[in-house]
Structure 1
Amino acid sequence: MKHILNSIIIISFVFVSIIGCENNSSNSNVLDSKVDKKILWEMGGHLPAQTGMDRNIGTAGLLHGVLEGKYIVVGGGANFPYDSVLNNGARKTYSDIYLLEDKNGSLEVIEHINWENEIGYGASITTKDGVYYLGGSPNSEAADDILFITLQNGKLNIEKIGDLPFTLQNGVAVERNGKLYIAGGAKGNGNSSGLYEYDLTSKEIKELSPIPQESFRQQLVGQILNGNLYVFSGHGDVAYTDGYKYDFDNDTWEKVSDVELNGKALTVAGGNSIKLNEKEMLVMGGVNKEIFDDAVAKLGSLQGRELANFRDHYFRMDPYEFRFNSDILIYNADSDSWRSIGESPFDPNAGAALLLIGNKIYSINGEIKAGVRTDKMFVGTIIAK
């Protein structure tokens, strides 16, 4: 049932309160934990059409990252441009990669190139040196690639720097001390819950202790906080709400707080996260557990007319009926707790690119209902309250 997530207004000014973030920007102290804040959201534009297409109908599962602390790189991803999912339309994945720059709240395309392979639903990692992209290609020859994206003389430069020992989709990855850590996802070796360490210098990879509890976990979120790797949610045949902390020094996992608000468990499967500071991560998007679980069960068990009737109802539902997570969530590792800082002023989504530059948050494209994406890009400026 991969297609459920993979296929699963415009505002001028909307304010959302944020409390308790630290500065990770050299040019502003607005993220300091002692400063009360709010987010001013604006429409940042539309991602242009891919090569050979008349228009961009939006994609999900994009490559995404920040280059030189200033530029956004996004690309690839998938959608259904020829016919709807209800009519069994074919999914298309793209090779287009865009370099964007924020110019007074408008994301302008600086460069648009095409990579040699189509890419989508791989793992993206922003580092001070460049952006790594792992797996995520419908081309079986490229589905285990490790790509490294940089700017050279102001132009995008993409090079393949290695191979994973497995293909990868819908996992999460981080960088620490010159090593990449890959957790969860659909891995070609069948070890979905596995955690792996890839040494960028030696090119060697080793298997570490797997994420506890579920044997299959994809489309999870994760960040390094307080020196530990935190992962949350994801899904298998059902959407998960649990969370775990990984200790790099001891190769051990520890249970942490579930994703919950006011005592109610939530899932952020299909959402994305950004690291605000050493102790906090912000999460946006994700499916609704009740609706997701019900759809997976019925699409996998119903037959004949019952299945046709359910598919017709499900894929015709309006975006709001899918009840994707609209809360903008912050997890604090010190207090091991979640809080909402308000609701997204635009359609909540799954599979969007989510990035942070200084005190600005960028949400680009994503799936707003099963099989339907948006081409919109939003810019949220964090300011003092």
Structure 2
Amino acid sequence: MKKFQIAAIASIFIVGGFMGLNANANKSESGKVSASAVQHANSIERITWEHAGELEAQKGFEENIGTAGVLSGSFKDYLIVGGGANFPYESVLNGGPKKHYSDIYVLKKENNQLSMVEHTNLDHEIGYGSSITTKKGVYYIGGSPEEEYADDILFLTIDKDKKLKVEKIGDLPFTISNGIAVEKNGKLYIGLGQQNGNASNKIYEYDLKTSKTKELAPIPGESVRNQSVAQLLNGDLYIFSGGGSTAYTDGYKYDIEKNSWSKAASVEADGKEISLLGANSVPLNKHEMLVIGGFNKAVYDDAVEKLGTLQGEELAVFRTQYFNADPQEFNWNKEILIYNAKKDSWRSIGKIPFDAPCGEGLVLMNKTIYSINGEIKPGVRTNAIYSGTLLQH
């Protein structure tokens, strides 16, 4: 084993490149970065972060510049991540084409370090699908630039020879990307995002035993809801934020048994509403989820409006300033947020000590959380992986 070294204008951001870190940013001499902390009894109090390395270059490339919209999950002691997209040939400002990847990396934590177990390739490129980690394996739904594969349901496990096993276990009756998915009792709950290339607020139930798909009650509110965060908590589906021509901060609870929706607490911390558009999440326990990332609503809304209305020289000047700005100027969400479904409330346990990512892989393995790649400003990714140790009060 080799040591791991380690529709519309809104689509410019969500599908095209609003979704990336200096690998050594914020590191101390010991290699660790500062902790995020807050007191909260009987739950996560803080996370101590450290830089965990980078992914090796994709097949056919000399360098990995990081990807967003990745497949990510875990199976037993293995971390699985891959696919995603970036702009390797030319910047977004200069009209560079977006590139998706078929590379999948299997990693394992040994002696407090990640080691590469396998680097392999699918037979097609993937990105911006939905990943679900279960005890049996990792599901990956939709998410491919190739229409033939954009309705696939894949299932990933690791065999006894430590090799990645990828099975296609079903087809949806529609293609999907930038959506959400959770699993409960052998059924997948899938929806939102782009369905058959069009923005949708529809939700479906896919039965893994019968391969049948059933349409459910659509989510209330906006008819366009890309890149929301969603988790199964206390047996119900919770969906927060997302966006279209504007970024949202609202939340909804779906009662699976009753096929009905109700409002959940809007996303906020310290009295300030926060957009989670482009963020990622992991379940902490039966009733809590943790979220990292999210575009800044004011910056996002302003950019979408100006990119859609300005013309000529004014548009060229704005584009140049916008895409050349530093990551900090976009003010993406650095708060580490925890939602408690039992209390229907949000809280922050501090801030991540690295540039806020969007479209990153987020994987929880035991008491360690991994933030993998992602975008740190429009069109720019990071290849950094950060590991955080969850500490309880």
The Cα shift of 1:13 comes to: 3.3
Residues 342-383 of structure 1 deviation map (CA, whole Å, 9 limit, x = unaligned): 001010010000010111110000000000000000000113
| Residue of structure 2 aligned with 1:3, choices 12, 32, 44 | 12
CA distance in 2, matches of 1:64, 1:372: 19
The Cα shift of 1:195 comes to: 0.8
Residues 309-352 of structure 1 deviation map (CA, whole Å, 9 limit, x = unaligned): 11101100000001110000011111111111000101001000
Q: Aligned in 2, Cα 1:289/1:191: closer, same or farther, shift over 3 Å? A: closer
Aligned to 1:262: 270
Aligned to 1:137: 144
Matched, 1:148 2:168: no
The Cα shift of 1:38 comes to: 2.4
Residues 58-115 of structure 1 deviation map (CA, whole Å, 9 limit, x = unaligned): 00000011112x1110000000000100000111000000001123343221100000
Percent of matched pairs sharing the same residue: 55
CA distance in 2, matches of 1:108, 1:371: 29
Aligned to 2:116: 109
Aligned to 2:60: 52
SS of the residue 1:346 aligns to: coil
Q: Aligned in 2, Cα 1:88/1:226: closer, same or farther, shift over 3 Å? A: same
Task: Please identify runs of 4+ aligned residues in structure 1 that moved more than 3 A.
Answer: none
Aligned to 2:183: 175
Matched, 1:354 2:362: yes
Gaps of 5+ in 1: 21-32
Gaps of 5+ in 2: 1-8, 19-24
TM-score (norm 2): 0.92
The Cα shift of 1:143 comes to: 0.8
Matched, 1:164 2:184: no
Matched, 1:319 2:351: no
Residues 158-207 of structure 1 deviation map (CA, whole Å, 9 limit, x = unaligned): 11111111111111100000000013111117461111000000000000
Aligned to 1:39: 47
Would the aligned equivalents of 1:5 and 1:370 in 2 still touch at CA under 8 Å?
Answer: no
CA distance in 1, matches of 2:147, 2:39: 45
| Structure 2 counterparts to residues 1-385 of structure 1, below 5 A | 1=9, 2-6=11-15, 7-8=17-18, 9-11=25-27, 12-17=32-37, 34=42, 37-68=45-76, 70-153=77-160, 154-188=162-196, 190=198, 192-384=200-392
Q: Which moved more, 1:153-162 or 1:243-252?
A: 153-162
- Match of 1:364, as an amino acid? I
CA distance in 2, matches of 1:189, 1:324: 27
The Cα shift of 1:208 comes to: 0.2
Would the aligned equivalents of 2:108 and 2:115 in 1 still touch at CA under 8 Å?
Answer: yes
Q: Aligned in 2, Cα 1:308/1:105: closer, same or farther, shift over 3 Å? A: farther
CA distance in 1, matches of 2:82, 2:186: 25
Q: How many corresponding residue pairs?
A: 372
TM-score (norm 1): 0.94
